[in-house]
Amino acid sequence: MTTLETAAAIAEPLGRAGSWFYFTPSTAEHGQHIGLDVVGFYALGRGGVLGDPSPAEVNDIFYFFKPSFVEAMYGEARSKQTPQVAVPAHLESADFFARHTFGGIPVETLTAFTEAASTVMAAAPVGEWPLVDGYRAHLIPSDATAAAYRHVIMLRELRGGVHTDAIKASGLTAVQSCFLDNDGRAFALHGFADEDIPVVDEAMRQRRLDAENDTTVRMAALLGSLTDEQQAALVEGAVAMRAALKNPVAVAN
């Protein structure tokens, strides 16, 4: 398997699994414990890994959202709680989710995935993607299940940062890209309304496809430090965790 094939194989599983915990009932409950609804908890818990950013700074990094939407949800959450409280709680909610979802996956599979993923993260440059830097500044859980999921989250942010770079290089705007992504399924969720729908032509659609391919090429370059066995472990673990979303199993006590 080439690094390009590996990058393509892990894109959807990591993208889906890495964001799955954001709005689950257990995450919402963690947010309630610190006075935040699940949307504010997402905004402050994820954006807060940047330190103590302004709403505008969070919008710049989240990128594919309507600016007023990001600034409102982050700003409101920031008025109720601090990132210093929200971020650890958000990470704890991710760990809780992992321990109640991936218990059916062999520990060996999760451990091999983590070893491969940690190799990627160790080789990834510092200072390129703020969310990646923010997440990897936090300690990794000691248990295999939560550790693997934390690396899913970081790899998702890594591809997200690379994808943002590719979209900017393509000349597409954030609103154009969001509308063209998965037939606009996340358009409204990202705060956009009907009046924000861009005029689209086939050339723009092709640029969006080209940007997605460019993302995979850029991501493949970041997998160059992996052996063939590590690439296989990365794919196997990512696919297993993606599949477990439909049939969650808690880790046995």
Tell me the pLDDT tens digit for each residue of 95-106. 999 999 999 999
Q: What is the pLDDT of residue 1?
A: 87
- Calpha distance 25→43 (Å, rounded): 16
Q: What is the pLDDT of residue 111?
A: 98
pTM value > 0.75: yes
Whether the pLDDT of residue 182 is over 90: the answer is no
For 65, 67, 109, the CA distances from 196, given in Å and listed in that order, are 11, 12, 44
Beta bridge pairs of residue 249: 102
Q: What is the pLDDT of residue 198?
A: 95
Q: What is the pLDDT of residue 37?
A: 97
Assign 253 a pLDDT band (cuts: 50, 70, 90).
confident
pLDDT in tens, 203-218: 999 999 999 999 999 9
Q: What is the pLDDT of residue 191?
A: 92
